[in-house]
Amino acid sequence: MFRLSRAPFIILMLLCFFVAIYASLYYLPYDLPENAGILINNFGPDLLALHAAVGSVALVFGPFQFLSKLRHKRPRLHHMIGRSYVVAVMISGASGLALAIGTTYGPAVALGFGAMAIAWMLTAFMGIRAAMQGRYDDHRAWMYRSFAVTLAAVTLRLLLPAALVSGVEFEMAYTVISYACWIPNLILIEIWLINKKTGSVKVAV
């Protein structure tokens, strides 16, 4: 039996906080990062700022949804965090979808990031819908899937520098990573959920 200890959870939280802090470059009064141009595209910096700021809320709040002690001892706080997370996903997902549609890097990138935005909003919607219907096991499974897509913000920032350092051209790397930053996350969480259901995984956070 595999036991998910607190250490990976803490590392996950630190990565989320780090990426959220980095995202502040897109909405606080700093000089924009060099890659801002590929994100601003046809919609201007305001939409990018909205996407980054609200997406950071989802990224920071996300891990706290899965703390069992918080869920059992402070259910009202758990509900507040969950609702805030879903609202953040919907706003950031919608703005991300617009940014994907307006990309200047071609239809493949638009499809990759556009599909990610739709998957992000859909999984969050299915999660909140299951909770409202009292299907709490399904609710938790959908929220795990939703947060797997949220973590694309982390995996993208790990994969892109690695690809560039290895000598891959930016346009090629960006195209592949528009899919690779989130689809493997969903596959892995689905495998994890299956193993959890069969009892081969035990959550300890």
Looking at residue 3, its pLDDT comes to 45
Sorted by where each begins, the domain ranges of the chain are 2-203
pTM: 0.85
Q: What is the pLDDT of residues 3-54, one digit of tens each?
A: 456 777 788 888 998 898 888 877 776 555 555 555 555 566 788 888 989 9
Residue-by-residue DSSP string for the chain: -EEE-HHHHHHHHHHHHHHHHHHGGGTSSSPPPTTHHHHHTTT-HHHHHHHHHHHHHHHHHGGGGG-HHHHHH-HHHHHHHHHHHHHHHHHHHHHHHHHHHT-SS-HHHHHHHHHHHHHHHHHHHHHHHHHHTT-HHHHHHHHHHHHHHHTHHHHHHHHHHHHHHTT--HHHHHHHHHHHTTHHHHHHHHHHHHHHHHTSEEE--
